[in-house]
């Protein structure tokens, strides 16, 4: 048996006698496992007993568990694993004997094909029986990667679902006196809107957190052999990304839910969820200082954090950036972007909904010049206009100012000052607007610096602030001296 399943048996016992108090803490464990060969069986068992522990709410506790598993490794590139375990917890209190029994089933597979492909999938199912009710948790994970590192084509797929039991955080819009409050009836930030947002913590509940991400990167220029003839297609590159993040009350880790894609953003069960898809295209000719970057994207979000209120949103955007050299060793970077967003908030008590469509466009121009090997000076100007198509108003913002950057072995500096103005014309009240910037002229400044005075000693200073027209100067500063040993 020792040759087939090498393992160890451990025993630990501690007794405490202090006056009228008598304490006992004893535990033993047995671990048997085989690490080589095609069949990899394993077995573990253990028990722990606690009696008369000072400060414990229970008079005595006892835990017993065992786990049996089997792994199969047909080759060095492929392996399977599975296990089943049972745990029983007993607690003796003034109210009697409390028993909790949990059963856990785990499984997984791992596959490799050199450095070009790898796959790892795992799942776990846990069922807990308590006197207050049964609980369940279903976890799943999948990671697929393809393509050589730094190769011309790489891809990745990640799927991860965790199910946790945590206190319920409830947010409710509560009506207040007319003319007061910070929100309106649909959760939009509005001074005097008649509602306030109240947050409370409730009983624990089971929720699922899911993350799904698919990424494909293509860069033919990275794999051009030495001395190869230049070709136009090697100047192009691109990236495709799809990402989903959600927090739901549904058990998304179960097999019947894993492939039900409508469940991940189910309006009735999703607390908050977001789906984004982006496609980018880069053009950078070899040996040239001219490059371009184009990107388009779409998004969808669902929010049900506020009780009695459901919010949905859809959006799409596009961006084009071109960087090119100029005379006098200057370099220009111009960016233009367009966006369109639809947002709606629905009250479940029948009072109706609030929706809006916002279309925006923005422009950015930066003229920079490199001084020496570390410093870069530039002038940055921005302009953006967002039009509320549902109500007829629009918001216009622009800013311009100098920036300075430095990066050496001992000094890191990034500072900028800008003067701008924000104006609102007509009824501009898009749904879901939570941050309201004050209109008028303003001066913004931002400074981030770090000086490494010695090998293990550094000093950093960060300051950012703003002065709004007819308003006081506001700023936030942080000074930090750090030493590592």
Residue 60, both tokens:
């005595």
Q: What is the rounded distance in angstroms from the CA atom of residue 296 to the CA atom of residue 339? A: 10
- Cα–Cα separations (whole angstroms), residue 460 to 281, 374, 414, 429: 37, 18, 12, 41
Residues 170-226 pLDDT 10s: 888 888 998 888 888 888 878 888 888 888 888 888 889 999 999 999 887 766 655
Residues 353-403 pLDDT 10s: 888 999 999 999 999 999 988 899 999 999 999 999 988 899 999 999 999
Asked if 104 contacts 84 with a C-beta cutoff of 8 angstroms, the reply is yes
Q: What is the per-residue burial (b if ≥16 Cβ within 10 Å, else e) of 150-169?
A: ebbebebbebbbbbeeeeee
**Backbone CA torsion sign across 224, 226, 228, 231:** positive
Q: Give the per-residue pLDDT at 24.
A: 77
Identify the residue whose tokens are 């990167």.
Answer: 217
Residues 423-460 pLDDT 10s: 999 988 887 665 567 888 999 999 999 999 888 899 99
DSSP string, 328-378: TTEEEEEEEEEEEEEEEEEETTSS-EEEEEEEEEEEEEEEEEEETTTEEEE
Residues 3-48 pLDDT 10s: 555 666 677 655 554 444 567 788 888 888 888 889 999 999 999 8
Identify the residue whose tokens are 């003839």.
Answer: 229
CA nearest neighbour of 206 among 159, 143, 255, 269: 269
Tallying the residues shown for the chain, one arrives at 485
Q: SS3 for 256?
A: helix
């Amino acid at each position: 048996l020792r040759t087939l399943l090498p393992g160890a048996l451990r025993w630990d016992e501690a007794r405490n006698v202090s006056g009228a108090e008598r304490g006992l803490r004893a535990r033993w464990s047995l671990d048997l496992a085989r690490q080589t060969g095609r069949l990899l069986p394993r077995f573990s068992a253990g028990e722990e007993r606690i009696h008369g522990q000072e400060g414990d709410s229970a008079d005595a506790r006892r835990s017993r568990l065992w786990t049996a598993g089997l792994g199969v490794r047909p080759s060095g590139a492929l392996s399977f694993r599975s296990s089943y375990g049972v745990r029983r917890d007993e607690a003796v209190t003034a109210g009697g004997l409390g028993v909790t029994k949990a059963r856990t089933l785990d499984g997984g597979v791992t596959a490799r094909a050199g450095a070009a492909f790898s796959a790892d999938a795992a799942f776990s199912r846990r069922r807990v029986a308590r006197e207050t009710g049964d609980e369940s948790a279903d976890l799943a994970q999948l990671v697929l990667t393809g393509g050589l590192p730094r190769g011309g084509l790489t891809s990745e797929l990640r799927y991860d679902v965790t199910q946790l039991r945590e206190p319920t955080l409830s947010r409710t819009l509560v009506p207040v006196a007319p003319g007061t409050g910070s929100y309106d009836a649909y959760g939009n930030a509005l001074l005097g809107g008649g509602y306030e947002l109240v947050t409370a913590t409730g009983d624990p509940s089971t929720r699922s957190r899911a993350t799904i991400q698919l990424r494909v990167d293509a860069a033919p220029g990275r794999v051009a052999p030495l001395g190869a003839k230049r070709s136009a297609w090697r100047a192009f590159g691109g990236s495709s990304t799809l990402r989903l993040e959600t927090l739901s009350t549904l058990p998304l880790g179960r097999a019947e839910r894993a492939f039900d894609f409508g469940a991940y953003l189910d309006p009735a069960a999703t607390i908050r969820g977001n789906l984004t898809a982006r496609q980018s295209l880069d053009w950078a000719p070899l040996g040239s200082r001219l490059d371009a970057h184009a990107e388009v994207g779409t998004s969808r979000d669902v929010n049900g954090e506020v009780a009695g209120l459901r919010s949905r949103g859809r959006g799409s955007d596009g961006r084009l950036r071109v960087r090119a050299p100029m005379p006098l060793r200057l370099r220009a970077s111009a960016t233009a972007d367009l966006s369109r967003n639809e947002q709606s908030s629905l009250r479940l008590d029948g009072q109706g909904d609030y929706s809006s469509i916002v279309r925006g466009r923005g422009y950015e121009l930066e003229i920079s010049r490199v001084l020496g090997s570390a410093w870069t000076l530039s002038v940055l100007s921005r302009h953006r206009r967002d039009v509320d198509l549902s109500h007829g108003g629009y918001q216009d913002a622009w800013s311009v100012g100098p920036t300075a950057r430095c990066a050496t072995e001992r000094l890191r500096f990034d500072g900028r000052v800008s003067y701008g103005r924000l104006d609102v014309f007509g009824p501009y009240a898009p749904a879901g607007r939570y941050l309201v910037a004050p209109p008028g002229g303003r001066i913004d400044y931002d400074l981030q610096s770090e000086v490494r005075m010695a090998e293990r000693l550094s000093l950093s200073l960060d300051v950012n602030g703003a002065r709004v027209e007819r308003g006081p100067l506001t700023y936030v500063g942080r000074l930090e001296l750090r030493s590592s040993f």
